[in-house]
Structure 1
Amino acid sequence: MIITRTPFRIPLGGGGTDLPAYYSRYGGFILAAAINKYMYISVNRPIVDNLVRVKYSLSETVSHRDELKHDIAREALRMMDIEDSIEIVSMADVPAGTGLGSSSCYAVGLLHALHSLKRNYVSLHELAEEACELEINRLGKPIGKQDQYMAVFGGIRAMTIDREGKVTIHMVPIDNATMDELNRNLLLFFTGITRPAENILKSQSSHIEQEKKDVLDNLHYIKELGYQAFEAIKTGNLTELGLIFDRHWNYKKRLHPEISSPYFDHIYEEAKKNGALGGKIIGAGGGGFFLFYIEEKHAKLRQAMSQLGLREMRYHFDWEGTKILVNLFNGLR
Structure 2
Amino acid sequence: MGPHPQPSVHTQPVSISTPGRICLFGEHQDYLGLPVIAAAISCRIHITAERVDQPHVRLNLPDINSQELFSLASLPLTYQHDRDYFRSAINVLLRKGFQFSTGIEGKVRGEIPINAGTSSSSALLVSWLNVLTRLADNPQVLSAHQLAELAYLAEVLEFGEPGGMMDHYATAVGGVIYLESKPAIRLESYQPALGTFVLGDSGEPKDTIGILGRVKHGMLRIVKQLMALDSTFSLHTTDSAAISDFKPYLSKDDYILLKGNMDNRDILREALALIQQTHDSETPLDDAKLGQLLTDHHTNLRDAQQISTPKINRMIDAALAAGALGGKINGSGGGGCMFVYAPQKAEQVAEAIEREGGRAYIVTVAEGTTDQAELLNSTIP
* TM-score normalised by structure 2 residue count: 0.71
* Deviation, structure 1 residue 135: 2.0
Alignment-mate amino acid for residue 251 of structure 1: N
RMSD: 2.9
In structure 1, the gaps of 5 or more residues are 328-333
**Contact in 2 for aligned 1:142/1:198 (Cα 8 Å):** no
Q: Are 1:77 and 2:90 an aligned pair?
A: yes
SS for the counterpart of 1:309 is coil
Q: Deviations over 1:210-264 (max 9, x none)?
A: 346554543333222112122234352221111111210111124654x222222
SS for the counterpart of 2:28 is coil
Alignment of 1:253-292 (within 5 A): 253-254=302-303, 256-257=305-306, 259-292=307-340
* Deviation, structure 1 residue 203: 4.7
* Deviation, structure 1 residue 90: 2.0
Alignment of 1:242-261 (within 5 A): 242-254=291-303, 256-257=305-306, 259-261=307-309
**Contact in 1 for aligned 2:79/2:88 (Cα 8 Å):** no
Aligned twin of 1:100 = 118
Aligned length: 309
Aligned twin of 1:325 = 372
Q: Distance in 1 between matches of 2:125 and 2:213?
A: 20
**Contact in 1 for aligned 2:40/2:175 (Cα 8 Å):** yes
Q: Pick closer, same or farther for the CA change 1:280–1:244 going to 2, 3 Å.
A: same
Q: Distance in 2 between matches of 1:326 and 1:299?
A: 31
**Contact in 1 for aligned 2:17/2:371 (Cα 8 Å):** yes
Which structure has more relative contact order (CA 8 Å, sep 6+)? It is: 1
Alignment of 1:197-276 (within 5 A): 197-201=208-212, 203-211=214-222, 214=255, 215-233=257-275, 234-235=277-278, 236-254=285-303, 256-257=305-306, 259-276=307-324
Same amino acid, percent of matched pairs: 26
Q: Pick closer, same or farther for the CA change 1:157–1:216 going to 2, 3 Å.
A: same
Q: Deviations over 1:33-57 (max 9, x none)?
A: 222221112343332x333434433
Aligned twin of 2:22 = 10
Where has structure 1 moved over 6 Å in runs of 4 or more?
A: none
Alignment of 1:20-99 (within 5 A): 22-23=32-33, 28-47=34-53, 49-56=54-61, 57=64, 58-63=66-71, 65-69=77-81, 71-81=84-94, 82=100, 85-87=103-105, 89-99=107-117
In structure 2, the gaps of 5 or more residues are 1-12, 95-99, 224-253, 279-284, 375-381
Aligned twin of 2:202 = 191
**Contact in 2 for aligned 1:15/1:223 (Cα 8 Å):** no
